[in-house]
Amino acid sequence: MDELIAKEIATQSGVDPDDRLEDLKAFDDTKAGVKGLIDAGITSLPKIFIRPADELVEELNLGRSQARVPVIDLSGIESDDQHKRIVSELRRASEEWGFFQVVNHGIPESVLDGMIDGICKFHEQDTELKKEYYSRDQLRKVRYESNIDLYRSRAANWRDSLTINLLACNEVEPDELPPVCRSTAIDYVYHVTELGGTLFDLLSEALGMKMDNLRAMECARGRTFVCHYYPACPEPDLTLGVNKHTDPAFLTILLQDQIGGLQFFHDNQWTDVSPIPGGLVVNIADLLQIVSNDKFKSVEHRVLANRIGPRMSVACFFIGVAVPEKIYGPVKELISDKNPSLYREFTVREYINNFFSRSIDKSGLDHFKI
């Protein structure tokens, strides 16, 4: 199926489909990822990474925003006054921006730094050690790959990823994780899972519901941690680290290093999400936009390629209950005659399958609208 999609996309782009498929398979078969290209000493981009001409032209016509993403201080959350402030700020950020950063979130800086260091060590270890984890099986609990949509996108992205999949179970066994980042990953998974629960409680209040509503819906149960490695790129203006997309989840918490490159689309312009020491980026994802009936916004975002690198980031996607199947839809408390339901009911598995049936730059929200 992936090969047929790759050929169709190549034909639509005016590229020889057989040549492109051969190039994609040759890259995939190395199991060395983008890091392998850097190790081989390349000085220009292989053609599978070069964005189509129409995308590059469109890029010239888009402005760059100087807006600053909201920063929300979670300190003093136990105080009534501070709690009300935090909920109010979260409501505004979720409705108007879809993106914000949190500071004083309670995760020790040593845990954040340790995770970044562990991911760097994984991706920079000998290729033969990484190959043990290389797979395109999305159900595999721990896997390493380059470009989850390699055969479905118009151009490959400049990144490699290690994925820890906790959709079918709540915990990962230590011996399933790569030894080089095992202890740091276990610590990070624990702390971010706790923070996610806190944020869902606050977001429930921000929607005008009881604090435990989203938690009771098990929005925080299924999680996927995707640990990205972006090598320095020789021609960053011709490619991207990640194509524009929205996330097929309820909420995303992102740890990024201090290099930067993350952008989201706001007021018809790309807006930088500049790193804050000790800060974490949070964005509303598709499923929360649906259950909030469009009150909260899931917005497009992307990652630029950069001459500076490597850059590391770790995204935790809170996906809800995928196994066994659970029905989700707009929360009944938010529906009325004046505010009718905008989306049909769905299962997480249905949403994810739809997401992975296409290039990630195509939003899946319209498919579930009434």
Question: How far is residue 108's CA from residue 24's CA, in Å, rounded to a whole number?
Answer: 41
Whole-number pLDDT of residue 11: 60
pLDDT in tens, 164-192: 999 877 778 899 999 999 999 999 999 99
Q: Is 247 exposed, middle or buried (0-12, 13-18, 19+ CB in 10 A)?
A: buried
Q: What's domain 31-368's architecture?
A: Sandwich (2.60)
Whole-number pLDDT of residue 15: 62
pLDDT band at 364 (very low <50, low <70, confident <90, very high): confident
No. of helices (H) and no. of strands (E), the chain:
11, 15
Residue with tokens 């700020």: 89
Categorise residue 268: left if φ over 0, alpha if ψ from -120 to 50, beta otherwise: left
Q: Does residue 2 have a pLDDT over 70?
A: no
pLDDT band at 214 (very low <50, low <70, confident <90, very high): very high
Q: Does residue 95 have a pLDDT over 90?
A: yes
The residues spanned by each domain of the chain are 31-368
Whole-number pLDDT of residue 167: 86
